[in-house]
Amino acid sequence: MSNVGIIGLGHYLPERRLTNFDLEKMVDTSNEWIISRTGIRERRIAEITERNSDLAIKAAREALKNAKLDPHKVELIIVATISPDTSFPSVSCLVQKAIHARHAAAFDIGAACSGYLYGITTAKQLIQNGLFKNALVIASEKISTYMDWTDRNTCVLFGDGAGACVLSKVRGNRGIISDYLHAEGHFGGLMAIISKERKALDQKTTTMDLPRITMQGKELFKAAVNSMAKAALIAIKKAKLKLSDIDCLVPHQANDRIISAVARKLGLPKDKIFVNIDQYGNMSSASIAVALYEAVEQGKIKRGSNVVLVTFGAGLVSAANVVKW
Ligand code: UT7
């Protein structure tokens, strides 16, 4: 049976850069604190008029071009996102319309920072089962929508962006060779999007704060390190590989100290781990999509490389894939 593999990648990053120095003027923080505690130097922020689907469409077009796949031939579109334009139409349907993928099925996946790998694994199975010949999987986030720009605990951490890939059957031993999906809903309170209570219809005024992100950073930090190390090890074992066989590990980019701790726990040298958090911050599901794109672009992943993709995020939800490139 032939494997399902990634045949094209795309990405899009909004032009506007928000640096740590810009944030120093907005909240009680400093460039030194942000770099030493997170590794982030700047992040991209979409314009108010730029919607999540605008980012997704640009990433999708590049992935299709790189895969040399005509949009009319796309059979499935999955968008991983926690920051869609609206609840419906789904971002995947907005992408379908924009790229004229008339023959595609389309749906969104909500698995926070793990959404891209949840999407890739779902699409892989649907192709393997014979339901579809190919799939366009996109991770797109306009997470700035949920930012409370007066809360220094969260507003320094996140950024907007999108990444995409095209999956189809591939020849030889390359392709996605193992999958691991996991969730721990009982820890869901550690990171959530909350709004204050809405007043009932029979009351005189209706007040509702805008939805915004809250998180318990220290607890999440520990959970992130343990979950990502565990997910990576399980996926590597399922792929019947050893840690020493791994050429590149691409992790979710939430904090450079989390990534270093995962590297130490696994005993992997840091030069085998791809990091770009300094430029983009945490883009939720889009972080690993953009990191994978850049790791390939920079030659850190080449034909034949054994690659581990591993993520962790709100839910709590973790995931990993081993890919033979
Ligand atoms: O996407 C997946 C889910 N997200 C994660 O996995 C994130 C996991 N957590 C983290 O990355 C880290 O816990 C943070 C970066 C969020 C925070 O780093 P920390 O080293 O755990 O800091 P802390 O929350 O313990 O805060 C230390 C101090 C506090 O001051 P006091 O109470 O010690 O006086 C904070 O108020 O740093 C203060 N602080 C800040 N200071 C300057 C918090 N945010 C800032 C800030 N600038 N932006």
SS3 182: strand
pLDDT of residue 312: 97
Going from the Cα of 218 to the center of ligand 1, the distance in angstroms, rounded, reads 7
Is 182 known to be catalytic?
no
Name residues whose C-beta falls within 8 Å of residue 243's C-beta, 6 or more positions apart in sequence.
233, 236, 266, 267, 268
Q: Is 214 in the pocket of ligand 1 (CB under 6 A)?
A: no
Question: Pairing mode, if any, of strands 42-44 and 175-183?
Answer: unpaired
pLDDT of residue 203: 58
% of the chain exceeding 70 in pLDDT: 95
Q: Provide mean pLDDT across the span 200-219.
A: 73
Scanning the chain, the segments in alpha helix (DSSP H) are: 20-24, 31-38, 52-67, 91-99, 115-128, 152-155, 217-238, 256-266, 277-280, 285-297
| Contact indicator for 132, 28 with CB cutoff of 8 Å | no
Catalytic residue among 20, 66, 134, 282: 282
CA distance 149 to 151: 6
pLDDT digits (tens, 9 = 90+) for 268-295: 998 999 999 999 999 999 999 999 999 9
CA distance 124 to 175: 10
Going from the Cα of 313 to the center of ligand 1, the distance in angstroms, rounded, reads 16
Q: Is 61 in the pocket of ligand 1 (CB under 6 A)?
A: no
Q: Which of 24, 34, 37, 216 to mutate to test the pocket of ligand 1 (most atoms within 8 A of CB)?
A: 37
pTM of the shown model: 0.94
CA distance 222 to 237: 23
pLDDT digits (tens, 9 = 90+) for 224-267: 999 999 999 999 999 999 999 999 999 999 999 999 999 999 99
Q: Which of 105, 115, 48, 104 is nearest to 81 (CA)?
A: 115
Strand partners of residue 273:
249
Catalytic residue among 20, 93, 113, 134: 113
pLDDT of residue 208: 63
CA angle 253, 192, 22 (to 5 degrees): 55
Ordered by where they begin, the domains of the chain are 4-172 (3.40.47.10), 177-324 (3.40.47.10)
pLDDT digits (tens, 9 = 90+) for 92-127: 999 999 999 999 999 999 999 999 999 999 999 999
SS3 90: coil
